[in-house]
Amino acid sequence: MKYPVNWTRHLGAALLVLAASLGTTYWLWEHEKQNAVMDQRAQADLNLRSFLSRIDQRMLAQEQMLRGVQGLFAASEVPITRRAFREYVAALKLGADFSGLEGVGWVPLVTTAQRAGHVASQRQQGLPGYDIQPAGDRPAWAPLAQLEPSLARHAASVGLDLSTDPARQAAMQRARDSGLVTITSKLTQLIETGAPVKAGFVMFLPVYRRGTAVDSLEARRANLQGWVVAPFNMEAWMASLYGETAAGIDVRIFDGIEVTRDALLYDSGAPTSAVVQRSDEKLEYLHVAGRSWTLAVRALPVSEAAGTSGAYASRDQSLIIARSGVILSVLLALLTWIMVSDRARAMILALRMTAELRETKEHFELVFDTSPDAVVISRQADGRIIDVNPGFVSMTGYTRAEVIGQSLANLALWRTAEDRDRYLRELHEHNGCENLEAAILRKGGAQMVGILSAQPANFKGVSCFVGVMRDITARKVIENRLAHMAQHDALTGLPNRALFDDRLHQAVTQAHRNRTRLALLYLDLDHFKPVNDTLGHAAGDILLKFAARRMQEHVRASDTVARVGGDEFVILLSAVHDKDDARGVAEKIREALTEVFELAGGHTAHISSSIGVAVYPDHAIDEIQLAKHADDAMYQAKQMGRDRVVCFGDFHPRRHKAGMDLGPG
């Protein structure tokens, strides 16, 4: 007996099964791919913060080097000769830590009355043809008197008046007026008149006359002696940051806040002539030595992120899911077509079909059993669990027997009722959920963070939900580390300036509201640089950590100790009775820092501290004035011989007559 064959119906059934299977495969593949992208972005953000921290540390090291040269001029009672300057720079041994540095130079401020004597002095010291260039009458000159190490390409630069270039002049004026280190805008010609560079900058640090006060703008302008300078080649400087930028990201650095081709300082990728800002970039802003740099950051795709084993593992997992799913979908469609195409043929092929079905089942079970994610199949009608995979058992600690038949709502997995109710509400109101984050409790009470997704499905004729849970605890740890790095000093673990400024603002607001007092201490370590120079940066870092720990031991838990510079700290005492109360805490800290420090390798170090104290509201009306007065008090402690505590009300700042201005500004 023959039966008519409806090929259209048979083909439609096979295509329906194929479409359903491919749809499920696509959902699983997309879910895995999204998680891989999220993991990669989290790692890229961590790498970016580490990269920014390395830039900050390198800038700090260069500033400390220039401050050492500044100290040479401040400590000398006689003019520094060219030979003494050359020997001092040679003793610095500027090696790999200062790659990209073209040299260290001295730029004196020369008035009309001083010009002839300056030129004669330089000629007597071995430069018979020395003169200030370009020629012409100006109110004052700022010639590059010396640049060490002395190389052939530097010869034409000696005597060049740096103030004739607008970019250098602007940086010199900012350094003079602030007393701080500054850098120029982007330069393609650093100092020498020879070969240009792709991009670079020049760093300036002012030097004031020995024994003069510089506690006001007028005093700093009047007592300016000159500048210490250091030109840097940006490409070589960036290449020295541990040999690379950061894995998984492409970084471009621009001078200023505008992303333009003329402002491009550095590009970690291949040069491009396309649009300046790419659509997949985000912008980060970095304040560097008085200038703003803009970082255009792009997270590389997984295929480009040479990177991490985790990225490739996630990509391989998604490829396994895609390939296995396509193969299984085709097999299921083929089996469906065979099963419905001819009832007579089904009898002949029964044994073969049984074997193929067994193989198909084994493939499905392989995917179900080997997935590292937790998979839960539950009935839509009452939420009771039908089955779980080994990944669920491994992740949660519960056996299949303990959870099968249990309701999703009654499982002890949920750390909070809010997460449980939100998950169940998504299932019933939206027929599934995507990337829902929840706090999960493992068996035994251990906590984890999971990201949940669920889709409706048909399992053995029962309408159910297939839920997938991935453990993202490690990712959350990375995110928490990022948040901590953004607000804390990488070396000491203390709050950085951004976090301290926020706490100071809140403390002043609360003190104003409650009519209470607080105190601000500015602390600078004395004699730290000799330790750094003689024992090395590693010993200096250990000393900073020990000093920070001693400070914390002498304040309350409600107080804040922060590191705001190389060897500069600030301490917020959130509640004091008067300035004597604050002075007492400061004296305890000062005495603790005079005790000997035991360093690695059997070395010891002796330092002291100069501490300035200001009390709110006795000495200031807001946090800005409070910080300035505490800094003034610390400066007074330095002037009085160091190793002492000075309160703001204990002295009267002197006023100084304004001096000559170098150009506009």
Structural domain includes residue 273: no
Cα–Cα distance, 370 to 362 (Å, whole number): 12
Please list, in sequence order, all residues whose beta carbon lies within 8 angstroms of the beta carbon of residue 646, skipping any fewer than 6 positions away.
610, 611, 612, 613, 633, 634, 636, 637, 640
C-alpha–C-alpha distance, residues 362 and 653, integer Å: 86
Q: CA Rg, the chain, in Å?
A: 35
Structural domain containing residue 494: 488-650
Interior/surface letters 639-652, b for 16+ CB within 10 angstroms, e for the rest: eeeebbbbbbeeee
- Residues 414, 506: one domain? no
Query: Quick check: helix, strand or coil at residue 73?
Result: helix
Give the whole-angstrom CA distance, residue 141 versus residue 660.
Answer: 12
Q: Under a CB-based contact definition with an 8 Å cutoff, are residues 127 and 97 in contact?
A: no
Burial of 426 from C-beta contacts in 10 A (0-12 / 13-18 / 19+): middle
Segment-wise mean pLDDT, segments of 10 residues, the chain, 665 residues:
60 80 82 73 75 82 87 84 89 75 91 91 90 88 89 76 91 92 86 69 93 88 93 83 62 88 82 57 84 85 53 63 82 74 53 59 69 92 92 92 89 90 92 92 92 90 92 88 87 93 96 96 95 90 95 96 94 95 97 94 94 96 95 96 94 47 39
Residue 299 forms part of a structural domain: no
Does a structural domain hold residue 292? Answer: no
DSSP alpha helix (H) spans, 528-595: 528-535, 537-553, 579-594
Residues 453 and 526 in one domain: no
Domain count, the chain: 3
Pair (454, 502) in one structural domain = no
504 & 459 share domain: no
- 500 in the same domain as 425: no
CATH number at residue 134: 3.30.450.350
Nearest Cα residue to 585 out of 638, 645, 544 = 645
498 and 448 share a domain?
A: no
CA dist., res. 259 & res. 215, Å (int):
37
Return the pLDDT at 126. Answer: 86
Helix, strand, coil tally for the chain in percent (to 5)? 50, 25, 30
Model pLDDT for residues 209-225, shown as the tens digit of each residue:
988 888 898 989 999 99
Q: Decide: helix, strand or coil at residue 360.
A: helix
Residue 409, pLDDT score: 84
User: pLDDT of 292-324, one tens digit each?
Assistant: 899 888 877 655 554 544 554 555 677 788 788
Q: Within a domain: residue 158? A: yes
Residue 662's pLDDT is: 41
Which residues, 6 or more positions from 324, have their beta carbon under 8 angstroms from its beta carbon?
Answer: 25, 363, 366, 367
Pair (82, 217) in one structural domain: yes
Tokens 């006689």 — which residue?
A: 78
Residue 237 in contact with residue 99, Cβ under 8 Å?
Answer: yes
Q: What is the rounded distance in angstroms from the CA atom of residue 236 to the CA atom of residue 96?
A: 11
| Alpha helix stretches (DSSP H) within 462-496 | 473-487
In a domain, 341, yes or no: no
Bridge partners (DSSP) of residue 608 are: 526
Stated pTM of the model: 0.51
Predicted local distance difference test score (pLDDT) of residue 142: 93
Q: Are residues 426 and 555 in the same domain?
A: no
Tell me how far CA of residue 637 lies from CA of 103, 366, 376, in angstroms. 34, 74, 68
By the 8 A CB rule, do 285 and 292 touch? yes
Q: Note whether residue 284 is domain-resident.
A: no
Give yes or no: residues 499 and 460 share one domain.
no
- DSSP code of 372? S
Contact 572, 522 (CB under 8 A): no
Is residue 133 a contact partner of residue 160, using CB atoms and an 8 Å limit?
A: yes
Angstrom distances, CA of residue 421 to CA of 382, 408, 427, 442, 448: 15, 10, 10, 18, 18
Q: Of 448, 472, 496, at which residue does a domain stop?
A: 472
- Domain end among 472, 503, 522: 472
| β-pair partners for 140 | 111
Q: What is the pLDDT of residue 354?
A: 58
Q: What pLDDT sits at residue 321?
A: 80
| Residues 166 and 197 placed together within one structural domain of the fold | yes
Identify whether 357 is part of a domain: no
3-state SS record for 187-232: ECCCCCCCCCCCCEEEEEEEEECCCCCCCCHHHHHHCEEEEEEEEE
Cβ neighbours for 451, distance < 8 A, ≥ 6 positions apart: 35, 435, 436, 437, 438, 469, 470, 472
**Residue 100, domain member (yes or no):** yes
CATH number of 590's domain: 3.30.70.270
Residue type, 324: S
**First-last CA distance in the chain:** 106
Which pLDDT belongs to residue 591? 97
Whether residue 468 sits in one domain with residue 394: yes
Domain-terminating residue out of 472, 499, 527: 472
From CA 84, how far away is CA 536, in angstroms rounded? 23
Q: What is the DSSP letter of 444?
A: T
456 and 507 co-located in one domain: no
